[in-house]
Chains A and B, each alone.
Chain A
């Protein structure tokens, strides 16, 4: 679409920290920890469900260098949640720093603080624990109303009413219906009833969970952590430790990836507890194994889709039931599940007459889940898109055609998406664009390559949101300095995504200056304006809008200071091409002059801080297409090309938006083809290291090509919507589709391993 020519927006500017990162500068948590920090290590339970009967720390405490060892007896007894969410948190308060009742294999039994790593590790190995081992609930399909309770305790609290009950192993439960689902279903020519399963994938960010804590010069707890959510961490620590929020400062340095993992306070509480107890600096660095077995992976979900259609391919009704496994604790349980329906059903608004979406979220004695890019939408979209592909194949309608017949179009009201208006939707254009770029008509047919190998293609659509409507808050402070350059202070967390840079681009666009003239600082609870944090696809959309508003407000203030300089009324002043001009005169005041004036005999601040929240969450859209070569004998799938077209409104920085898309696609490929999660008898993941949990290498992903279709979102900054999460949603269904084309088998559980492909015979054969 046509849009305004911008100077800094829609430009591929280098990330502000790029050269620091590429040249290996010490900018991460572990790089800035002083030598005298205590090393914190955790003893973890080998049992999935057990009570600590006795625990003997005598020998551990005698190890030279060990400062102290803490057990369940030493910690506060009020429950909290690790989930980084806006207060009141939808996630139940079901955690203690250390609980006597351990609920998954990997749950914390003791905290060791020592002068060095060797002493800490030795002490961990010398703690003697006698467990009363209980039978665990490991299969999430049997958890609801099971006689074994994961959280039998009486001080379990749900701060929000989400239909949960710890006496039923239920974290949340809900039912939504629109229209007369049963009678439309009964009237349909075709009803497909399919069940899909996606596992608890790990984010596997390269930097594991880690936190450093110390007491500052006022005796306040200063936390430097690899986190996406500095303000939520402050609240979580305040709850967990029982200290006031103004006695805690949380900041993040550069972060080695998050993808949602660091939207929960996984590592913060342990060194914080040690620092409070000892008064000394402390740090914890999770091993890769700890990150794999006690992190915050995707919620394992089973999604049952009932799709009703007529024989022309018109999709008339969708009925979803999602069962979500929250694991041992409820972090993000009540919220992730919602997206499995809310971000899949609306894509078929064009034809749907009715829909139903019910869900249950259950506790089990497995690793607690958390937030992972896609946040439930990924699971729902895999289920719905695969069912739609099956309908197309069944009716012999080209899958792109069946989308054209049924999809959401711009201007429609989405009943399955809180009745929001699709004000900016280029989904149809994404499909057309992708189809042409990919040469769908050429690649879709199954082609025999000889020696048991075939080539073919598959596709999927996706949507997500942009921030949590009526909940999230994004804020920005923009300050003019006396040399006419700007400072931007944010509480959103750049975790490599480049939000520092794209927000600076927005300041540059508003203030008509170069991006280099805008320095960015974030995120620090002492200095940044309040921001929910970087999650829920919110930073570009929400914090971006706050930036735009803060700039507008700052301009007004600068006009007023400029008027003081010229001795006229501020109504006479306008901001124009990076200067303040007095209307109808040649008189101008430079930013430098205003910056200097702001510091001399002045009563008006040359800075502005604005918070923003949105009543809507405009969805970005995407179409992905994949060509594979499949070896029918070995089951090996080789990706030839993965192409996608994304509608994220106006991309603020096309290079960074493209990298988001490419990175998300490769993660999705990993989940679909190679990242497996299997558990041993105690429910502990066997894939507990990078030797077993195989994320894609650069030899596993084929050629990627990503392009954009612009739409203009009126509520977003410069027409922008989100990009960060949607990009992970198409590989699952697109690959499952291509694999069906090649083999005649619909695989409804991910990952689809070569073994499953080779050993499952098509019913057609």
Chain B
């Protein structure tokens, strides 16, 4: 059970950042899993009053505030239409509606959790995060950074034309994925992102141009094999490393085939 000494609803990012320099202070997002572990927090920094709970859409991008909930993402028509429902597909099986009404995109990305459906799907897009005070970095770069005392302010998804498909294997429908897979064609390149390996999601690009000649069952399989060969999988109680490799291959192949179908439409 968590123990918190002080609760501070901050008025500005500056104030949040300052407080966050304290070693035992913590920004609270959706506050999921408060009851797990025995974390001792000095000051809980609540950033829910900073207006970061909206999805702003411009001609160039979606600016998704850190406090936007997974349910908001799931129900955002424009974002889902832009991403062929892949955002919806990535979040719809996460625990339940109540959970998704609370869990935030900021909390989900900040943790850079291995099991994250969100990190997996957004890594397949032309996406960035805005950190305070660091500034804007690509989501991929962010996913490889160590956790520090900065604050995740926004997730930015550029409206770079994209074909994208998301799927995950779950042993029980609302469980963490055994393996998650997003594939996309964006900025002229094919990407496969494999999450829940069970380590953090990893991006594999088609560096060998396997799909350059077009998507056929043969090239999709070859690319899927390439992806599977270029990720490291591990074992835990949800699945063994070998099975995860196998799933990476199957899901990548199926997703790429779906991309191909979309392209021909």
A residues engaging B (CB < 8 A)? 121, 125, 451-452, 633-636, 673-674, 676, 678, 686-687, 689, 691-692, 694, 696-697, 699-700, 753-755, 758-759
Contacts and interface: CB of A to CB of B under 8 A. Distances in A.
A676 B239 contact: no
A754 B177 CA distance: 12
6 contacts: A452-B250, A700-B172, A700-B173, A754-B169, A755-B239, A759-B243
A121 B237 CA distance: 29
A694 B175 contact: yes
A697 B172 contact: yes
B243 A687 contact: no
B171 interface: yes
Given A694-B175, A697-B173, A700-B172, A755 B240 contact: yes
B237 A694 contact: no
A451 B1 CA distance: 46
Given A636-B169, A755-B243, 9 more contacts: A121-B1, A633-B250, A634-B250, A673-B171, A689-B36, A694-B171, A694-B172, A755-B178, A755-B239
Contact of A754 (B1, B171, B174, B176): B171
Contacts of B36: 689, 691
B246 interface: yes
Given A633-B250, A676-B237, A692-B237, A699 B242 contact: no
Contact of B172 (A674, A686, A689, A758): A674
A452 B175 CA distance: 23
B163 interface: no
B178 A754 contact: yes
A759 B245 CA distance: 11
A685 to B, nearest CB: 10
B139 interface: no
B247 interface: yes
- From B171, B173, B174, B237, name the one whose CB has the most chain A CB atoms within 10 angstroms: B171
B172 A696 contact: yes
Given A686-B237, A692-B237, A754-B169, A697 B174 contact: yes
Nearest to B35: A287
Contacts, number: 50
Contacts of B202: none
B191 interface: no
Given A686-B237, A687-B237, A758 B246 contact: yes
Interface in B31-62: 36, 38
Interface string B230-248: 0000000101101100110
B254 interface: yes
B214 to A, nearest CB: 20
A759 B239 CA distance: 11
Contacts of A636: 169
A121 B2 CA distance: 12
Contacts of A121: 1
Nearest to B253: A633
A759 B246 contact: yes
A700 to B, nearest CB: 5
A678 B237 contact: yes
9 closest A-B pairs by CB:
A694-B172, A699-B173, A755-B243, A674-B172, A633-B250, A686-B237, A755-B239, A694-B175, A697-B174
A318 to B, nearest CB: 34
Nearest to A637: B171
Interface in B197-248: 237, 239-240, 242-243, 246-247
A151 B174 CA distance: 41
A674 B1 contact: no
A635 B179 CA distance: 13
Contacts of A125: 38
Nearest to B251: A634
Nearest to B176: A691
B92 to A, nearest CB: 10
Contacts of A700: 172-173
A135 to B, nearest CB: 24
- Grouping DSSP codes into helix (H, G, I), strand (E, B) and loop, the B interface class, with mixed when no group exceeds half, is loop
A699 B175 CA distance: 11
Contacts of A678: 237
Contacts of B247: 634, 758
A405 B254 CA distance: 45
Given A121-B1, A686-B237, A451 B178 contact: no
Contacts of A697: 172-174
Contacts of A758: 243, 246-247
Contacts of B169: 634, 636, 754
Contacts of B237: 676, 678, 686-687, 692
Contacts of B246: 758-759
Interface string B158-189: 00000000000101111110100000000000
A515 to B, nearest CB: 36
A674 B251 CA distance: 21
B111 to A, nearest CB: 15
Nearest to A675: B172
Interface string B16-40: 0000000000000000000010100
A686 B235 CA distance: 14
B122 to A, nearest CB: 23
A688 B179 CA distance: 22
B171 A759 contact: no
A686 B237 CA distance: 8
Contacts of A674: 171-172, 175
Contacts of A759: 240, 242-243, 246
Nearest to A685: B237
A67 B251 CA distance: 57
A204 to B, nearest CB: 13
B62 to A, nearest CB: 29
A696 B171 CA distance: 10
Nearest to A121: B1
A40 B173 CA distance: 36
A686 to B, nearest CB: 5
A636 B237 CA distance: 16
B74 to A, nearest CB: 15
Contacts of A753: 171, 239
A754 B250 CA distance: 13
A452 B174 CA distance: 23
A46 B169 CA distance: 33
Nearest to A759: B243
Nearest to A118: B3
B243 A451 contact: no
Nearest to B179: A634
- From A636, A676, A754, A759, name the one whose CB has the most chain B CB atoms within 10 angstroms: A754
A696 B178 CA distance: 16
A633 B246 CA distance: 8
Contacts of B242: 759
A672 to B, nearest CB: 12
A400 to B, nearest CB: 30
B215 to A, nearest CB: 16
Contacts of B239: 753, 755
- From A678, A686, A758, name the one whose CB has the most chain B CB atoms within 10 angstroms: A758
A754 B174 CA distance: 15
- From A633, A678, A686, A759, name the one whose CB has the most chain B CB atoms within 10 angstroms: A633
A678 B236 CA distance: 11
A673 B170 CA distance: 12
A288 to B, nearest CB: 9
A759 B241 CA distance: 11
B174 A699 contact: yes
A125 B251 CA distance: 45
A754 B173 CA distance: 12
Interface string B139-172: 0000000000000000000000000000001011
Nearest to B175: A694
A750 to B, nearest CB: 14
Contacts of B178: 754-755
B258 to A, nearest CB: 11
Contacts of B251: 634
A140 B1 CA distance: 34
Nearest to A694: B172
